[in-house]
Amino acid sequence: MDTTLASPKFASSNRTSPKTSSILAVALSVGAVVWLAAVTTGMAHAETAPQTAARVTYADLDVSTADGARALLGRIGIAAKAACGVKTHSPLLPREASYHRVCVANAVDAAVKQIGSPMLAELRTQSPESVTLAAR
């Protein structure tokens, strides 16, 4: 019976060379570092403290009229958006946009309650932000 043995020098092997393994390890490490940097940057941005209060002047408005109350409601909305911080659109932080929306709505409601104008309160209940739609 004849058998042919291949010399180890020419034998085919499924093993990867040490150089290929080290290149793969470096590539995976770099990828992990980039991913980690992106995640922590997103979290750091989300954790920055927004402005907690904003002053709205309305001495020039007559809030007992619809036009004056509407103008004041617009000013309050702008100030509430500034107080709640930048609206975030990120696939890493998908809930941030809804948190911002709730923050703005709560800030506007608190300001309207603090001012105590019936016309302003009526316009606030009619504003599109406070309309809730039922889903099927």
Cα dihedral 9, 12, 13, 19 in deg (nearest 10): 60
**19 in a structural domain:** no
pLDDT(131) > 50: no
**63 in a structural domain:** yes
**φ and ψ of 95, to 5 deg:** -90, -10
Does residue 114 or residue 1 have the better pLDDT? 114
Lowest-confidence segment of 33-47, 64-78, 94-108, 110-124 by average pLDDT: 33-47
**39 in a structural domain:** no
**38 in a structural domain:** no
pLDDT(71) > 90: yes
Q: What percent of the chain has pLDDT over 70?
A: 65
**34 in a structural domain:** no
Q: Give the pLDDT score at 90.
A: 75
Q: Give the pLDDT score at 110.
A: 92
**67 in a structural domain:** yes
Residues 6+ apart with CB under 8 A from 115: 58, 63, 72
Q: Give the pLDDT score at 130.
A: 46
Q: Give the pLDDT score at 48.
A: 54
Q: Give the pLDDT score at 55.
A: 86
Q: Which long-range contacts (CB under 8 A, 24 or more apart) does 25-33 make?
A: none
Whole-prediction pTM value? 0.55
Nearest to 78 by CA among 107, 45, 50: 107
Q: Which domain holds residue 110?
A: 53-130
Band (132; pLDDT cuts 50, 70, 90): very low
Residues 6+ apart with CB under 8 A from 133: none
**31 in a structural domain:** no
* Structural domain count, the chain: 1
**14 in a structural domain:** no
